[in-house]
Amino acid sequence: MKWDEVKEGKVRMDSQKLRLKASFLYLIFLVAVVELAHRKLLLGNETVRIKKVPDLPLRFRSDGTFKILQVADMHYGTGTITRCRDVFPSHFHFCSDLNTTRFLKRIIQAENPHFIAFTGDNIFGSSTPDAAESLFKAFGPAMESKLPWAAVLGNHDQESTMSREELMTLISLMDYSVSQINPLNDDPTSPTKGGVMTNIDGFGNYNLRVYGAPGSMLANNTVLNLFFLDSGDRALYQGIRTYGWIKDSQLHWLRRVSQEFQGQKQEPLHPTDATSTTKPPSLAFFHIPVPEVPQLFYKEIVGQFQEAVACSRVNSGVLQTFVSMGDVKAVFIGHDHTNDFCGNLDGIWFCYGGGFGYHGYGKVGWPRRARIILAELEKGQKSWMGVQRIMTWKRLDDENLSKIDEQILWQSR
């Protein structure tokens, strides 16, 4: 064999070795990239975690129930150094934001909800130098529970280091959150930013669909809608300071979403089952009450009406819109901490959550509280059907987590 042939063969072998080595290194690189994508990305000295997501879509359980925990007005500050308001003097020195955290953990464990809805003033912006840190502490028990949860903003959330858009962006990226900054745009003629509607007022307007029970004839259909709306913070109206309100653009979006379900055929899982063209019932969640809520002082209510309703001077027609839509059965609000009643306006129930957080104002001797909403499906001959009944009650942060004011909000027949 000639020396040139030997040399050429050696070069080929070396080249193959180099290619194998390069392939091996590239494989290691790919594995490392996948591992980082699943765990975390290191950018400089900052650690960016991949968001943990809940089991989706939202759906009723196999027992035909869907339970929601409403948390209104946590008013979270900084943690251990944030003092409580309106508690007994003997409790004051031992009370902080950690009492709010403890209550949230207790109520999650006791009620075992399927979903948590935070209805604004989640943090008390003026009491914290770092809005992001306070948000993580406030929503910590929800994330630890691994339950799907969603939030809207109140009038105090943005009073620290983040704007309302920044707050909702962060909330939407937190573990197990199903919150959205604003609706995804399905109208090609309207402006968008990253696929999100930009011609709608506020931040935190979105609709969550809840599907039927697994294995049921409506397992692949929406049987309950959850509307979340940004009711704003403060505003000037005719030169007068007032609270925010839900704007025309938001109401237009609500009507459009509702109309999508009008006469929509519910496709059954089993072809022999009857189909339904009934629009599924809806629940709405936002912070500031509408201007008609003060009328409930003169009507029959369930719960306590203990303070004046702090609503906007502007009546934008929210109640009329809900009535015309026909699918909204109940609305859940916050803002006025010592009101915890439910009252009916034109066939729609408006329910306060009652003050939850210990850094927000309350009433000495009046326990902080949370609201529970339970939707139950109708039992058919062969399968769970659509929503038959929606109930609610409250839990107090006392020794026994006392259950009070249980009532039926809506029944299908």
Q: Provide the residue ranges of all domains of the chain, joining segments of one domain with +.
A: 1-50, 55-411
**pLDDT value of position 11:** 46
Q: Is the pLDDT of residue 39 over 50?
A: no
pTM score = 0.85
Q: Is the pLDDT of residue 333 over 50?
A: yes
Average pLDDT over residues 313-338: 97
**pLDDT value of position 270:** 44
Alpha carbons 252 and 200: distance in angstroms, whole number? 9
Alpha carbons 342 and 51: distance in angstroms, whole number? 36
Q: Is the pLDDT of residue 21 over 60?
A: no
**pLDDT value of position 94:** 87
pLDDT digits (tens, 9 = 90+) for 218-266: 999 999 999 999 999 999 999 999 999 999 999 999 999 999 887 555 5
Q: Is the pLDDT of residue 5 over 60?
A: no
**Whats the size of the chain, residue-wise?**
413
Chain-centroid distance, C-alpha 340: 20
Confidence band for 3, pLDDT divided at 50, 70 and 90: very low
Confidence band for 271, pLDDT divided at 50, 70 and 90: very low
Superfamily of domain covering 55-411: Metallo-dependent phosphatases (3.60.21.10)
**pLDDT value of position 120:** 96
Average pLDDT over residues 334-351: 98
Alpha carbons 133 and 128: distance in angstroms, whole number? 9
**pLDDT value of position 233:** 96
Give the Cβ contact number of residue 21 at 10 Å.
Answer: 10
Bridge partners of 387, per DSSP, are 377
